Amino acid sequence: MNHPEIRVQDLHKSFGDNHVLRGIDLEIGQGEVVCVIGPSGSGKSTLLRCVNLLEEPTKGQVFVGGTEVTDPDVDIDAVRRRIGMVFQQFNLFPHLNVTENLTLPQRRVLRRDKAEAARTAAENLARVGLSEKAQAYPSSLSGGQQQRVAIARALAMGPQVMLFDEPTSALDPELVGDVLAVMRRLAREGMTMMVVTHEMSFAREVADRVVFMDGGVIVEDGTPEQVIGNPQHERTRHFLSRLLDPAMAEVEEEVEETEKGTSDRVGKD
């Protein structure tokens, strides 16, 4: 592995009595693509949000590019300029056109002049295949196009690291492919990426490593072939079987409900 671009040490996060992250240790090397998978509530998104301090950890340390994000004296705004974040929802300004959505953060945060910001916006719209939409407004774009604009906006800030939180989960199935194609391109360009996703085909094809989380801990961490193709833990196998075969998951749920009902009746008897 190259020197770690992201390093997480003994990370804990609690929301009241809910202990969501329970001692996470993780390193992501420069240029690595790491996909984080796991059931709902496993702590995946919380981990991602702790990396750029959108959520403040209860305990532990996070380093990005050698800078400790969790240091109370850190200039978090300076650190965040090196981190691109793409959410489930696109968070575009509806009253601004595509170019304006890309230039506004450059001018306000990076203090770029109008011409440089516009040039950078055009370059990154081309990277995501949306040059022809430069003057369009978000309401006229499909969900997939809006997400690609959101990716272009993050790239326009010149990040060293890109964080993706379920970037395709809000999209109709036929729109997912174009977004994943952009992410594949970024991976080929050597962008360091941490991706929370349920897209197993993307994880198999693009990820250098797959991390499976459950119950606030990392259960497995390895290559896609190891974690998805030959999981070693029962929790991983159970999650993947339900994800890859939804019909079987429905049968299992019916069986579980039947067994629960039977046990309840026996208990009452």
Rounded mean pLDDT of 38-55?
A: 94
Report the half-sphere exposure of 59 (CA within 13 A, side-chain side).
Answer: 9
Q: How confident is the model at residue 255 (pLDDT cuts 50, 70, 90)?
A: very low
Q: In the predicted model, what is the mean pLDDT of residues 242-265? A: 55
**pLDDT at position 247, please?**
57
Q: Tell me the per-residue pLDDT of 154-166, one tens digit each, with 9 for 90 and over.
A: 999 999 999 999 9
Res 46 pLDDT > 90: yes
Q: How many angstroms separate the CA atoms of 24 and 152, rounded?
A: 30
What pLDDT was estimated at residue 2?
Answer: 56
Band (244; pLDDT cuts 50, 70, 90): confident
CA atoms of 92 and 168, how far apart (whole Å):
16
60-107 pLDDT tens trace = 999 999 899 999 999 988 898 899 999 988 889 999 999 999 999 999
Percent of the chain scoring above 90 in pLDDT: 81
- The CATH code that applies to domain 1-82+161-245 is 3.40.50.300
For the four alpha carbons of 15, 51, 124 and 35, in that order, the dihedral sign comes to negative
How much is the pLDDT for 261? 55
C-alpha 249/C-alpha 136 separation (Å) is 42
Instruction: Output the average pLDDT for the chain.
Output: 90
Per-residue model confidence as pLDDT tens digits over 107-140: 999 999 999 999 999 999 999 999 999 999 999 9
Q: Convert the pLDDT of each residue in 170-182 to its tens digit.
A: 898 889 999 999 9
210-242: b (≥16 Cβ within 10 Å) or e = bbbbbebbbbbbbebeebbeebeeebbeebbee
Return d(Cα 102, Cα 125) in angstroms, integer.
9
- Which tens digit of pLDDT belongs to each residue from 189-211? 999 999 999 999 999 999 999 99
For the chain, give every residue range classified as CATH 3.40.50.300: 1-82+161-245
DSSP collapsed to 3 states, the chain: CCCEEEEEEEEEEEECCEEEEEEEEEEEECCCEEEEECCCCCCHHHHHHHHCCCCCCCEEEEEECCEECCCCCCCHHHHHCCEEEECCCCCCCCCCCHHHHHHHHHHHHCCCCHHHHHHHHHHHHHHCCCHHHCCCCHHHCCHHHHHHHHHHHHHCCCCCEEEEECCCCCCCHHHHHHHHHHHHHHHHCCCEEEEECCCHHHHHHHCCEEEEEECCEEEEEECHHHHHHCCCCHHHHHHHHHHHCHHHHHHHHHHHHHHHHHHHHHHHC
Mean per-residue pLDDT for 245-250?
A: 56
Phi, psi of 171, rounded to the nearest 5 degrees: -100, 150
Say what the pLDDT of residue 251 is. Answer: 47
Read off the tokens for 119.
Answer: 């040039």
